[in-house]
Structure 1
Amino acid sequence: MSNTTAGTRFAAAYAVLTAAHEVGDYWAQRDKDAIAKGKPGHEGRAACARHVASYTAVQALALAAADKSLALGLNWRRATAGLAISALTHYAADRCAGHWAETGPDAPALVRAAHRTGHTGWLTRAPEAGPLMDQSWHKGWIAFAAAITAGGRSR
């Protein structure tokens, strides 16, 4: 049994999930999936799913290594729930790849939400806006995933 607190587990889980996010999002992602993940239809969905699978594997391995080496005492049901949140929200954002400046009803739901919350000007005039919205979405959900992972009693 571990003596770590939920706060300690949260800090460790957030740091590990965020670092693994960077590795999974850039190093583990295949170029052909990065290009195709925002395309409509089966090709885009499959590319995004492959990317999210490798991304989630990197996060899971990093979290397991941290749990073991730091004796965090993570509850793996909670960790699995946190990883699922990270994966599902990552998929939702990455299906928007290449679509952030779109304003029509056919734009992905997350893009439409960004426009509805007042980001149209920025998204349509600044090429870096979409990737920044994407990364901020990921990091916010990683914090939530870390909180789920860290909550409750240690094992």
Structure 2
Amino acid sequence: MTAVFAAVFIALYVGHSVGDHWVQSSHQSMTKGKPGWVGRLADARHVATLTVTKAALLAPVALLLELHLSVLGTVIGLGVDAASHWWADRRSTLAWLAEVTGKAQFYRLGAPREGRDDNPHIGTGAYALDQSFHHLWLLVAALIIATV
């Protein structure tokens, strides 16, 4: 079971990186945090393509390594991961979590200043907390997939 968990986690982690950075469209990235249905739908489209990417990478790993994964565990694990990803990527939700956990100052680290987009990289506190949050839920998803 330990090897199954490790293989599943690695596949999900790589799928997350590819889906979050290569598959996600610029429109989804720029729109998913906007208020209302425009943002919610852009986020939903991002999470749908992200989840398909994770499943597309998990499937050959499971097949080639002869991992015995249940359909139920896989669906629940990917579903939990998708829901948590959608929640965090609405941006105001993760900003709220940073605020209530005392991480608001770190969340704002490296953010562009009002009226100036002067940060030429994605190395911001918000990005670090976003990715860390996603990694936590990848771990939970891998545990579910490997054990259910």
Tell me if TM exceeds 0.5. yes
Q: What is the match of residue 75 of structure 2?
A: 80
Q: Distance in 2 between matches of 1:123 and 1:140?
A: 17
5+ residue gaps, structure 1? 1-5, 97-107
Superposition RMSD in Å: 1.1
Q: How many residues align?
A: 136
Q: What is the match of residue 44 of structure 1?
A: 39
State whether residues 18 and 53 of structure 2, in contact with CA within 8 Å, keep that contact through their aligned partners in structure 1: yes
Q: What is the match of residue 130 of structure 1?
A: 126
The normalised TM-score by structure 2 is: 0.88
Q: What is the match of residue 68 of structure 1?
A: 63
Q: What is the match of residue 148 of structure 1?
A: 144
Answering whether residue 85 of structure 2 is matched by residue 90 of structure 1, we say: yes
Query: 1:135 is aligned with what amino acid?
Result: Q
State whether residues 94 and 130 of structure 2, in contact with CA within 8 Å, keep that contact through their aligned partners in structure 1: no
1:43-95 Cα distance to aligned partner (Å, 9 max, x none): 10111000000000001111111111110111121011110011001101111
1:103-154 Cα distance to aligned partner (Å, 9 max, x none): xxxxx333222111111222234330001000000001000100000014xx
5+ residue gaps, structure 2? 112-123
The normalised TM-score by structure 1 is: 0.84
Percent identical among aligned pairs is 37
Aligned partner of 1:109 among 87, 90, 93: 93
Q: Distance in 1 between matches of 2:51 and 2:95?
A: 23
Q: Distance in 2 between matches of 1:14 and 1:118?
A: 29
Q: What is the match of residue 16 of structure 2?
A: 21
